[in-house]
Amino acid sequence: MTDTLQQRLPEEHCCVCDALTGRAGRADDSLYLETQTGEELGPLCEDCHNSFRRDDLTDALVAKDVEIAGLGRRLDAALLVNEEWLSRKWVGMVARIEELEASNAE
């Protein structure tokens, strides 16, 4: 193959191990697996495609869902703390403005 032709051919990497898949997109029969939730995992190299079972994928997705839910709870807690802090600051600023307005009115 000429260098120009090789540069134009797309290279596809496995989403799991980053190895070249030896394929070049869906039109070239790229390997994907469908999870029980209907999501697709891919493209995959043949080794990763052959090593995964649906149960493994389901377990991995459930673990990711649990991890994401935990991150969401931590984010919610951090937002609540920041909201309370901002609320206290706002109340303090409003009180100070009222004091300044009262002293200016005298």
pLDDT, tens digit, 9 for 90 and up, residues 18-68: 888 888 777 778 888 877 677 788 888 888 888 776 666 677 777 787 788
The stretch 86-91 carries a mean pLDDT of 88
Tell whether 40 and 59 lie within a shared domain: no
Tell whether 67 and 106 lie within a shared domain: yes
Residues 6+ apart with CB under 8 A from 54: 33, 35, 36
Tell whether 67 and 41 lie within a shared domain: no
Tell whether 1 and 48 lie within a shared domain: yes
Query: Looking at residue 103, what DSSP letter applies?
Result: H
Could you list the residue range(s) of the whole structural domain that residue 70 is in? 53-106
Tell whether 32 and 65 lie within a shared domain: no
What is the model's pTM?
0.42
